Structure 1
Amino acid sequence: MSLSPFSPLSTLADAQPFARDGFTFRPLAVPSRGSAELAVWALDLVPGARSETHSMDREEVFVVVDGAVSATVADREVSAGPGDAIIVPPHATLQIRNASTAEPARLTVATSVGMRAIVGGAPFTPPWAQ
């Protein structure tokens, strides 16, 4: 049995983008890119972007790189800027949004491999997490 060579580098330039409702996801560390336990992606939000209210079956952490982000996490309102982290417990409801209607926002998101979302009452496995 031959194993494919391990590459410790996953570049943003080679990450396949997935777009949804003003959000662009670029997977960095996911199973399809060699990560066995963690899932990490870059997330860009266009000005005014707002996610659907949803939940995840795993903890998720959003770290703001650029811009301003607001979120509703389990009915609690939070605002975050560069260097801040929004921590979302498993099964907590979440709506995340770009707090600016003029400037984009960029985040790095971390969770664990195998996460699934519930959107509109239906399970959803995000393609950017695979």
Structure 2
Amino acid sequence: MPFYREAEASPFERHGSRFLSYVAPARGSSQLCAWRLEIPAGLQGVAHRPTREEVLLVLDGELQVTLDGLRSELHSGDVALVPADSELRIDAGPAGATAWVTTTPGLQAVLADGSRISPPWAM
């Protein structure tokens, strides 16, 4: 189906954030994954290395994005292009934030200890 309503998004919770999956192989897509990321105020993210390139668009609020040690504040309308295998950490600003994330199927997140997570919102 080419149209997805907010009420039909599949919700997932991890590391204190909420992921609402709209587009993924499990939902009929063969080449893309996309979800809305909701991060509560002041939450400090978990550093990880995504195995696929990601595009992160801030919808509202403020995010502090650290990418391979380079930190930047992003606000509504700002975008981060996250290269595959780069170290990424996303922290929320004082009011929290919402972002739209797009990537390709097969995404995994490699944590600092070497463990891998296959995010269910991208499967």
TM-score by length of 2: 0.95
**CA–CA distance in structure 1, aligned partners of residues 30 and 6 of structure 2:** 18
For 1:99, the equivalent position in structure 2 comes to 93
Write the mapping of 1:24-35 to structure 2, written as runs, cut at 5 A.
Answer: 24-35=18-29
Q: Which runs of 5+ in 2 are unaligned?
A: none
CA RMSD, Structure 1 to Structure 2 (Å): 0.9
Which of 78, 103, 123 is equivalent to 2:116?
123
Deviations 1:36-57 (A, max 9, x none): 1011001101101122110011
Structure number with greater Rg is 1
**CA–CA distance in structure 2, aligned partners of residues 95 and 104 of structure 1:** 15
Task: Output the amino acid matched with 2:54.
Answer: E
**CA–CA distance in structure 2, aligned partners of residues 50 and 39 of structure 1:** 24
For 2:54, the equivalent position in structure 1 comes to 60
Which of 112, 122, 126 is equivalent to 2:104?
112
CA contact (8 A) 2:10 2:22 kept: no
Task: Output the amino acid matched with 1:77.
Answer: R
Which of 45, 50, 66 is equivalent to 1:51?
45
Task: Output the amino acid matched with 1:121.
Answer: G
SS of equivalent residue, structure 2 residue 10: coil
**CA–CA distance in structure 1, aligned partners of residues 78 and 100 of structure 2:** 11
Q: 1:16 aligned to 2:10? A: yes
Name the structure with the higher strand share: 2
Q: 1:77 aligned to 2:77? A: no
Q: Post-superposition, which runs of at least 4 consecutive aligned residues in structure 1 deviate over 3 A? A: none
Q: What is the aligned residue count?
A: 122
Percent of aligned pairs with the same amino acid = 34
Q: Which runs of 5+ in 1 are unaligned?
A: 1-6
